[in-house]
Chains A and B, each alone.
Chain A
Amino acid sequence: MKPIALFLFAAVLPGAEDAPAPVVSGSADVGYRWVSDVGGNFNAYRSIVNLGSGPKLFGLDLNIQDPSKRLFDRANLRAEGWGGDPYNTAHLTLSKDGLYRFSFDYRNIAYFNFLPSYALNQRASDTARRFSDVELELRPGKRIVPYLAYSRDAGSGRGITDFYSDANEYPVATLLNDKTDHFRGGVRMEFNRYHLTLEQGGTTFKDDQRVYTSDLNRGNRSVPLFGETLLLRNLEQAYGVRGDSIYTKAIFTAAPATWANLYGQFLFSRPRTETNYSVAASGRFVLLQSLTFLNDQRDLVMTQAKQPHTSGSFGVDLRPTKRLRILESITTDHLHSNLSFNYNQQQLEALYDLTSRVTIRGGHRYLWGDARVRTPFLNPVQGLESGELKRNTGLAGATVRFHSRLNANLDFEGASGDRTWFRTSLHDYRRLRARARYQASGSLQFAAQFFVLDNQNPTPGVQYDFLSRQNSISAAWTPDGGKRVSVLAEYMRSSLRSNLSYFVPQELSRQESIYWDNAHTVTGTVQTTVPGRVSGKLEFGGAFFTAAGSRSTSYYQPLARFSVPFDKRVTWNAEWRWSGFTEGLYRYEGFRAHQFVAGLRIAR
């Protein structure tokens, strides 16, 4: 609404009647959505689809250009998903060349998660996160550009979590409420041969979570402990977290000569939090360390955490000859709190134009670092754990433009790791990605992609074997610019196999953790004009996913759309969509639902 208000304001300014009228263009999609009765598991439907019935503003896109350039040159307002949909967005930009650029972005995303198969149905949430971003840039396009920005990320809602007490855990209700405010301001200095950005920012953070119950709760333990039945009668648990941070950002780029570019950045942040935690619980509990049974638990905990985090990178792009480019970059990242790590990366790569159509590249990347982590209280290895990272990676690639219609790209990494942070980290790996696009004619285009990642960690006791493949092919056929018919189709076959040995604590034995996933995904749409006097458009297609393996799943979303223009500005739209979800192991989580949409698109 703001650009309209500004436009009205502009209209009453002196001399407005002499000024040329603003040019307004845009479109609005309004209508009504009906969702059929959901067959199957309604909570799974809400967790995955979550669309409801009712009148909707599906989309709004409004552009205003003011030739008189008084308050603004251009204004754009966009909005999507208003009217009770779980995802609402709004975006406003106003700009006046050389004077200011203002943007406002708002998003409201609902997160509903309540799946019977996950964590015994005891980790669920019904929350919403709202994001607001406001940024004002002064003198855009000039040499020195100051800017100010503010953003807020807030989440609230309710859910189910567990209250843990020794030897039992109790599913209880929780209220969630957190908020982060970001403030930042800075200045960009952009010159022909160099640029410098200096930014100073800060955040404030609060997180108030409440966990409570007043009902008798026997928890997950089904048998008494030494003849005592553990239970929870009343609980009031509260987390009060307050935090703030300051951060500094200094970025520069420079082109000191026609054959060299330099890039560098220094980033520093120092977030900190203070927590006041309290719990008051009554029931029947046990302290396992002393094997003492008790009827009440009361705890008060206050903690502080601080985390200075410094990062920097420096890069050089050199072009010593017309055909040769040398890229060198160094990155370093240091973080220190109760967990500390030092991470470093050095990469050198050369690109060479063999011909005007073929570019090859090769290089080397070296990663090294160390980390120290406080171990969990019950861990047999008390105190601190430490890890090291050392990995040499060879880089290679090629870009080939056979002619203007066919181009291909190859990207390969092969690494030999001495040390890794975790058992599942990249160790000895080979990663290859190949892409090709072929423009067979002005209206027909093909694209193909091949990806493979093979990672091995032969360390005794780990023996990690991971293989992931993704192959996809797509085609787009748009004869005569897609005026009468257009076809878009894509197919992807992906497979993943992971095999890792792990330790079973109570048996002191080793077992294999095997995970595999074998998936097919088909996406496609066919759009055609309806023959006859009605110059409508018909579109049908959808997305179809099916996977076999450790969690066999299928998720089908066919759709059909029909649109008929009433005149140049008004089009009637109708859409049918079906969502069908099935799980092989957890059949009770499947659902099926039809969605029908009817509405108008008004364009100007």
Chain B
Amino acid sequence: MPTPPLSGSAPFPPPQRPRRVAGAWAALAAAVFLSAVHAQAPEAAAPPSVYAGSEACALCHEDIAKAFKTSRHGVLDEDKKRGWEAKACEACHGAGAKHAESATAAEIRNPAKLAVAETDRACLTCHANGPTHVGRIQGGHARNQVACTSCHTVHHAPTAKVVAPAANIGAQNTRCAECHTSVVAEFKRPYKHRVPEGTMGCVDCHNPHGSFLAGSLRTVSANEPGCLRCHGDKRGPFAFEHAPVRLEGCSSCHQPHGSANPKMLTRPVVGQLCLECHANLGAQPASTIGGIPPAFHDLRNVRFQNCTLCHVKVHGSHVNRALLR
């Protein structure tokens, strides 16, 4: 058994601190203000704690220790640079020598039973600084206090029952479905993306960690909406754009989770869908974008009720201003 360090700092920060802090941030006025706040009400210094080491943990928590070695986190026990060599359990649970002696639950920190912010803090101490989390505070999960452990299992290797990058699509969808029950029901409609079939996953379109786009939509090619990852033929740029495609995205006309209308449209008849925007005569100048169709459009004729018969390039045209070809 390795010799445990004599003492440790607060539970979550790793023992090895970086030598330099990005100095630019120190200049932020908010930082100065908050430093002052903290100076006025300093928190009591945490009493020094003693680490027990992973081997001590494994003596009682044998199953977890065994599974942990096969998980991605298992590398912590061997990685000197991360600062948790031979004491990986205590990276999240805090120093555990007292708990190892007394075997009482009160003597150890259990992130699964903490307030969400505290649980996340345990994870984000290491994981906040990664590209995945850049849209975190704009995402619904963080704002609605959904803890990292709601989706991720910490101790186990990625299998069919846990969510991890390597987990299969069906397992990931099942995990999302536990909370997003109404979305699951929408996918039972006849016209939908191939999610129930297991060909597509929720995370193909959404970034559960957050995104600067509405609905935590993923981006592709830097800043284009994730829909274009598969629908590359709709990307353009077109010489003649259809405004809602760029301004409000695909969901201005389509219900991507499922619809009773063909092509996942928001309305059953194409003409109705188009005319709801292309009807700007009441207010002059028009307060919204859309214009009106010219008067030869006889809407009593079924030909004119199906706008896309003529306006075939409704997502945008390379050659025709009225999207006719």
Give the CA-CA distance A603 to B37 in the complex, in Å: 60
Select one of A98, A162, A422 contacting B312, CB under 8 A: A162
Q: Mark A257-271, 1 if CB is under 8 A from B, else 0.
A: 111111111011101
Chain A residues near B87 (CB-CB < 8 A): none
Within 8 A of A (CB), among B126-148: 128-131, 133-138, 140, 143-145
Chain B residues near A378 (CB-CB < 8 A): 293-294, 322
Chain B residues near A195 (CB-CB < 8 A): 129-131
Within 8 A of B (CB), among A550-597: 550-551, 553, 555, 557, 581
Give the CA-CA distance A170 to B152 in the complex, in Å: 54
Q: Is A380 an interface residue (CB 8 A)?
A: yes
A505, B212: Cβ atoms closer than 8 Å: no
B229, A505: Cβ atoms closer than 8 Å: no
A581, B190: Cβ atoms closer than 8 Å: yes
B contacts with A, residue count (CB < 8 A): 130
B240, A494: Cβ atoms closer than 8 Å: no
Q: Is A71 an interface residue (CB 8 A)?
A: no
Chain A interface size, under 10 / 10 to 19 / 20 to 34 / 35 or more: 35 or more
B25, A254: Cβ atoms closer than 8 Å: yes
> Looking across the interface, which residue of chain A has its beta carbon closest to that of B38?
A259
Query: How far in angstroms is the closest Cβ of chain B from A567?
Result: 21
Give the CA-CA distance A338 to B320 in the complex, in Å: 13
Q: Is B67 an interface residue (CB 8 A)?
A: no
A188, B130: Cβ atoms closer than 8 Å: yes
B223, A268: Cβ atoms closer than 8 Å: yes
B312, A275: Cβ atoms closer than 8 Å: no
Q: Is B66 an interface residue (CB 8 A)?
A: no
B276, A547: Cβ atoms closer than 8 Å: no
Query: How far in angstroms is the closest Cβ of chain B from A356?
Result: 5
Q: Is A35 an interface residue (CB 8 A)?
A: no
Q: Is the interface of B mostly helix, strand, loop or mixed?
A: loop
A301, B319: Cβ atoms closer than 8 Å: yes
Select one of B70, B232, B325 contacting A180, CB under 8 A: B232
B275, A513: Cβ atoms closer than 8 Å: yes
Query: How far in angstroms is the closest Cβ of chain A from B242?
Result: 9
Select one of A123, A271, A462 contacting B236, CB under 8 A: A271
Chain B residues near A460 (CB-CB < 8 A): 282-283
Chain A residues near B222 (CB-CB < 8 A): 199, 201, 247-249, 267-269, 309, 311
Select one of A188, A249, A359 contacting B145, CB under 8 A: A359
Within 8 A of A (CB), among B35-75: 35, 37-38, 41, 43, 70, 75
B18, A192: Cβ atoms closer than 8 Å: yes
Known interface pairs A190-B129, A505-B299; A305-B275 also in contact (CB < 8 Å): no
Query: How far in angstroms is the closest Cβ of chain A from B71?
Result: 11
Query: How far in angstroms is the closest Cβ of chain A from B125?
Result: 8
Chain A residues near B13 (CB-CB < 8 A): 258
Q: List 12 A-B contacts (CB under 8 A).
A: A113-B263, A180-B232, A237-B325, A256-B22, A263-B135, A269-B222, A315-B138, A399-B145, A423-B277, A447-B178, A461-B280, A490-B185
10 more CB-based (< 8 A) A-B contacts, given A80-B199, A118-B263, A521-B188: A81-B198, A120-B306, A178-B233, A194-B129, A205-B235, A239-B319, A321-B41, A357-B115, A545-B185, A547-B260
List chain B positions with a Cβ less than 8 A from chain A. 13-14, 16-18, 21-22, 25-26, 30-31, 34-35, 37-38, 41, 43, 70, 75, 79, 81, 113, 115-117, 124, 128-131, 133-138, 140, 143-145, 160, 166, 168-169, 178-179, 181-182, 184-186, 188-191, 194, 197-200, 212, 219-224, 229-230, 232-233, 235-241, 243-244, 246-248, 252, 260-263, 266-268, 270, 272, 275-277, 279-283, 286-300, 302-303, 306, 308-310, 312, 318-319, 321-325
